[in-house]
Amino acid sequence: MSSASAKKLRPKYLSLRALLFEIRLPLPGWVSILHRISGALLVFPFAAWLLYMLDRSLASEQGFQAVNSYLDLPLVKAGMLLFIWAYCHHLCAGLRFLLLDLNRGIELPAARRSSVAVLVVSLALTAFFGARLW
């Protein structure tokens, strides 16, 4: 107990400049921080946005058509693309973390390969579902 409470003050270098330009994350680090960012984006605004569209599209035939033409707007399509990427990345990275929890692929070379796989597969899935959307 006493060793835990006697905390040493350590120097920190977490300026915005350091975060943006000086700290170089390894690939598994990118997968991890993107998992956080995508998760936060999915909670807000994407969950609210999708609930709104689900609500309107199920409410009436006119609502369904309105959502359809809404989805044709370029800005909305870009937003949907970002949503699809966030969802696919969060899912793929999450599955990787589940495997890591089970001690699968925890050696460095395997962890690097799986993080490349997560980035590539989620981008490929985004391209696939994005193409379906268009």
Task: Report yes or no: 122 and 86 within 8 Å, Cβ to Cβ.
Answer: no
Q: Which of 87, 89, 96, 122 binds another protein (CB under 8 A)?
A: 87
Q: Which of 17, 36, 104, 113 binds another protein (CB under 8 A)?
A: 36
Cα 61 off chain centre by: 33
State the nearest-atom distance from the C-beta of 50 to another protein, in Å: 10
Distances (CA, A) of 9 to 2, 4, 6, 14: 16, 13, 10, 15
Q: Does 95 bind another protein (CB under 8 A)?
A: yes
Helices 47-59 and 74-101: crossing angle in degrees, nearest 10, is 120
Q: Which of 19, 23, 25, 58 binds another protein (CB under 8 A)?
A: 58
State the nearest-atom distance from the C-beta of 102 to another protein, in Å: 10
Tokens of 56: 């309107």
Binding site for another protein (CB under 8 A): 36, 39-40, 42-44, 47-48, 51, 54-55, 57-59, 61, 64-65, 87, 91, 94-95, 98, 101, 129, 132
